[in-house]
Structure 1
């Protein structure tokens, strides 16, 4: 329930609740905690959850779906069928479909290129570029990236070049 692809090397609480539903018994939480803390894949692959210093200034809450999205890349992945990056798009309101009015992104050269600038202009979409170490601007996307990267590292530990599949 922890080390399977569906388990995704989840943390102690998530693993405990999954196991508890199927095999409830006294003292199980300490066994699950011990197992997860000793998981060699998690020790090698998990990222730090330490918060950066500084005050957060949250973005306004979107009023509708796909009115405010953020985009980022996960880069530097091992080549898999010729690919080495994933584009992550997060709707800050929900996960439904529609057309955005504003996009938050870091200052990745791709997003500041002429092509993207013109595309955003044609669709009347405002591009808000974040600055380094300001998680309030695209922290939600960074968190999705961290979760996806951790899941890929854990689930593809033995075959890192198969992540595209």
Structure 2
């Protein structure tokens, strides 16, 4: 009795490494204990079966764990045509500043905007103002249902690029400090950014500004 073993493909060629090298899918023929009279061969093949069984078990556990993590982050949200929703945009610093490993700027919600249509199962088309250059369709993860009569911000600011990121610029220096950078002293300033919350102020090297 034989069974096929199908490891995951590389995601690009849609073939496993075994199939690429040998031109056929891998075939696993389970070994039955004591099917051979040679003791050393029997011991080796039984050890191989244990390794394969352990490999399948560990792969199944890893897949289950990844699914649980993905499900924990997934939110089941649906909107009806005509409902009002907030749109989440991520601030992005101007490219003239040196990039840092820690971008502290928080996403902001703008709106409310009315849902015009549902495109597919997780994408919605919104009624955006004419001056906004970004695409009018958004993934459900970027939307939040409007509850009550209040609003966070009336309109999306003009001048947003097609990627849908808020371009932010330094608007004020709130504080300064002297820090050690390598073997020399350097000045850092606490910068408040446009299109961001006050608590998103970050320490930047003065020379980068």
**TM-score with structure 2 length normalisation?**
0.16
Greater RCO (Cα-Cα under 8 Å, separation 6 or more): 1
- Hey, which of these two has a bigger chunk of helix by percent? 1
Q: Which has the larger radius of gyration?
A: 2
Task: Give the TM-score of the pair, scaled to structure 1.
Answer: 0.20
